[in-house]
C-alpha cells in the first residue's frame, strides 16, 4: 500500500512538473507574427460636457504586428511587440447649449471617429503545458501607443441656434497613450497562436480643442480595446 501511494505521488509530481516547467528553453528568442480584429472605445469624461448627454459606442477595427519572445525559462518569457491598429467608433452629443448672448437652444450631433496607431507593448508571458501539443499562455504588461492619424467626422448635426452652433465635438485623439495590456492565449504545436487581450489606456484619450480667446476644451476619457488575434511563432 505504501509503495502504491508513493507511486501515485510520483506520477502527480511528474504531471505538475510537466505543466509548469522550469527547464531552460530550447531557444533564447522566438519571433512571432500576429493579425486579427479589435473592438474599441474612446470615452469622454462627463464633467467635461456638463449638462449634455453623450455616448461613445464600441466599433470594430483591425490590427497586425510582430512579437519577439525573450525566453528566460520554459514557463517565462519577456515579449516586446509592435502592432499597427485601426480603431473605429461613433460619438453622440446632445442637449441644451447657451450662446454668448445668453440664448439657450437645442443641439445634437452624431459623428464617426477613427484613429490609426502604433502600439508597442512589453509583456511578461507565463506558459503552462496543457498537453504535449497545447500550451496555455498568460500575458500582462505596459504599452505605449503613438497616434498616426485621427479624425472625428460629423454625420448628422442639428442646432436650433440662429447662427451656426459652436464645435463641441473632440476633433482628434490624443497624440500618445500609455496603458496596460493583459490577456491569454493558446499555442498549438509550439507554432500556431490564438489569443485575446484587453488594452486599458491610462492617459487622456482626446487632444484638447482650442476654442479661441485662449480658451481650450478638455475631454478627458480613456481609450480601451479588446483584441482577438491569430498568429504563428517561428
pLDDT digits (tens, 9 = 90+) for 151-205: 999 999 888 876 655 678 899 999 999 999 999 999 999 999 999 999 999 999 9
Assess contact for 43 and 206: CB atoms under 8 A.
Answer: no
Using pLDDT thresholds of 50, 70 and 90, give the confidence band for residue 98. Answer: confident
- What is the mean predicted confidence (pLDDT) over 76-94? 97
* Domain segments of the chain as ranges: 24-233
- Could you say which DSSP state residue 14 is in? H
| Residue 1: pLDDT over 60 | no
Residue 5, phi then psi, degrees to nearest 5:
-60, -40
- C-beta atoms surrounding 150 within 10 Å: 20
pLDDT digits (tens, 9 = 90+) for 25-74: 889 999 999 999 999 999 999 999 988 999 999 999 999 999 999 999 99
- Where would I find the beta strands (DSSP E) of the chain? 29-42, 52-56, 59-71, 76-98, 104-129, 134-159, 176-188, 192-201, 209-212, 215-217, 223-233
At 217 the pLDDT is: 86
Q: What gap in Å lies between CA 123 and CA 34, rounded to an integer?
A: 15
- Comparing 2-6, 92-96, 209-213, the range with the smallest average pLDDT is 2-6
Q: What gap in Å lies between CA 82 and CA 78, rounded to an integer?
A: 14
Segment holding 6, helix H or strand E:
helix 2-19
- Could you say which DSSP state residue 213 is in? T
Fold of 24-233: Porin (2.40.160)
| Residue 11: pLDDT over 70 | no
Maximum separation of any 2 CA atoms in the chain, in Å: 94
- Could you say which DSSP state residue 28 is in? S
Query: Counting Cβ atoms within 10 Å, is residue 201 exposed (0-12), middle (13-18) or buried (19+)?
Result: buried
Amino acid at each position: 500500500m505504501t509503495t502504491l501511494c508513493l507511486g501515485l505521488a510520483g506520477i502527480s509530481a511528474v504531471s505538475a512538473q510537466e505543466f509548469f516547467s522550469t527547464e531552460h528553453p530550447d531557444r533564447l528568442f522566438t519571433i512571432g507574427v500576429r493579425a486579427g480584429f479589435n473592438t474599441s472605445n474612446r470615452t469622454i469624461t462627463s464633467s467635461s460636457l456638463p449638462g449634455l448627454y453623450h455616448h461613445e459606442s464600441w466599433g470594430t477595427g483591425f490590427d497586425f504586428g510582430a512579437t519577439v519572445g525573450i525566453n528566460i525559462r520554459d514557463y517565462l518569457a519577456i515579449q516586446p511587440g509592435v502592432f499597427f491598429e485601426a480603431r473605429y467608433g461613433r460619438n453622440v452629443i446632445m442637449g441644451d447649449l447657451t450662446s454668448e448672448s445668453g440664448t439657450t437652444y437645442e443641439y445634437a450631433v452624431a459623428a464617426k471617429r477613427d484613429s490609426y496607431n502604433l502600439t508597442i507593448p512589453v509583456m511578461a508571458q507565463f506558459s503552462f503545458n496543457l498537453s504535449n501539443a497545447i500550451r496555455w499562455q498568460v500575458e500582462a504588461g505596459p504599452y505605449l501607443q503613438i497616434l498616426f492619424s485621427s479624425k472625428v467626422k460629423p454625420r448628422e448635426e442639428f442646432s436650433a441656434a440662429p447662427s451656426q452652433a459652436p464645435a463641441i465635438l473632440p476633433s482628434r485623439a490624443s497624440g500618445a497613450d500609455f496603458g496596460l495590456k493583459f490577456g491569454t492565449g493558446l499555442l498549438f504545436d509550439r507554432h500556431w497562436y490564438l489569443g485575446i487581450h484587453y488594452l486599458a489606456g491610462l492617459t487622456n484619450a482626446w487632444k484638447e480643442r482650442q476654442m479661441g480667446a485662449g480658451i481650450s476644451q478638455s475631454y478627458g476619457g480613456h481609450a480601451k480595446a479588446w483584441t482577438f488575434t491569430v498568429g504563428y511563432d517561428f
